[in-house]
Amino acid sequence: MAASTFADLGVSRRITAALAERGITEPFAIQRLVIEDVLDGADVLAKSPTGSGKTLAFAVPILEYLRSEQGAGRPRALVLAPTRELASQIVEQTQPLARAVGLEIAAVYGGVGFDKQIRAARRADVLVATPGRLEDLIARRAVSLAHVEILVLDEADRMLDMGFRPAVDRLVRQTPEDRQTLFFSATLDGEAGRIAAEYTNDPVRHEHTPPTPDTPPVEHRFIPTVHEHKLTALVKELRSEERGLTLVFVRTKRGADRLVKRLGREGIEAVAMHGDKSQGQRERALARFETGRVDTLVATDVAARGIHVDGISHVINFDPPADREGYVHRVGRTGRAGESGIGITFVNADQAGEVGKIAAALDLQREYEHVAPLRPHAARGPQRSRNGRRRRTS
Beta strands at 105-108 and 383-384: parallel, antiparallel or unpaired: unpaired
In contact, 249 and 305? CB cutoff 8 Å: no
In contact, 174 and 146? CB cutoff 8 Å: yes
User: Residue 131: what residue type?
Assistant: P
Provide the pLDDT for residue 52. Answer: 72
Same fold, 7-207 and 218-368: yes
Domain 218-368 of CATH type 1.10.340.30:
no
Provide the pLDDT for residue 385. Answer: 37
Provide the pLDDT for residue 176. Answer: 96
Provide the pLDDT for residue 2. Answer: 55
* Separation between Cα atoms, residue 37 and residue 276, nearest integer Å: 41
What's the Cα-to-Cα distance from 171 to each of 17, 86, 88, 166, 232, rounded to whole Å?
A: 35, 19, 20, 9, 49
Provide the pLDDT for residue 373. Answer: 46
In contact, 148 and 66? CB cutoff 8 Å: no
* Separation between Cα atoms, residue 173 and residue 160, nearest integer Å: 17
Work out the angle between the directed axes of helices 84-100 and 54-68 (0-180°, nearest 10). Answer: 40
Burial of residue 303 (CB within 10 Å: 0-12, 13-18, 19+) is buried
Provide the pLDDT for residue 363. Answer: 87
Among 14, 10, 124, 13, residue whose Cα is nearest residue 71: 124
Provide the pLDDT for residue 329. Answer: 82
Q: What is the DSSP letter of 350?
A: G
- Domain 7-207: which topology? Rossmann fold (3.40.50)
- Residues of the chain predicted below pLDDT 50: 1, 212-215, 373-394
* Domain ranges for the chain: 7-207, 218-368
In contact, 222 and 371? CB cutoff 8 Å: yes
Which strand ranges, in their side-by-side order, compose the sheet holding 126-129?
Answer: 105-108, 126-129, 77-80, 150-153, 180-185, 44-47, 204-207
Provide the pLDDT for residue 306. Answer: 61
In contact, 109 and 87? CB cutoff 8 Å: yes
Provide the pLDDT for residue 384. Answer: 39
User: What pTM was estimated for this model as a whole?
Assistant: 0.64
Provide the pLDDT for residue 392. Answer: 37
270 dihedral zone (left: phi>0; alpha: psi -120 to 50; beta): beta
User: Residue 66: what residue type?
Assistant: L
CB atoms near residue 218 (< 10 Å): 15
Q: What is the separation, in whole angstroms, between the first and last Cα of the chain? A: 79
* Separation between Cα atoms, residue 322 and residue 184, nearest integer Å: 24
The residues near 194 (Cβ < 8 Å, ≥ 6 apart) are none
Work out the angle between the directed axes of helices 13-21 and 84-100 (0-180°, nearest 10). Answer: 120
Provide the pLDDT for residue 50. Answer: 65
Q: What angle do CA 217, 218, 223 make, to 5 degrees?
A: 160
In contact, 96 and 21? CB cutoff 8 Å: yes
Among 152, 14, 167, residue whose Cα is nearest residue 87: 152
Cis peptide before 75 (omega within 30 of 0): yes
Count how many residues are written for the chain: 394
* Separation between Cα atoms, residue 261 and residue 267, nearest integer Å: 10
Provide the pLDDT for residue 337. Answer: 63
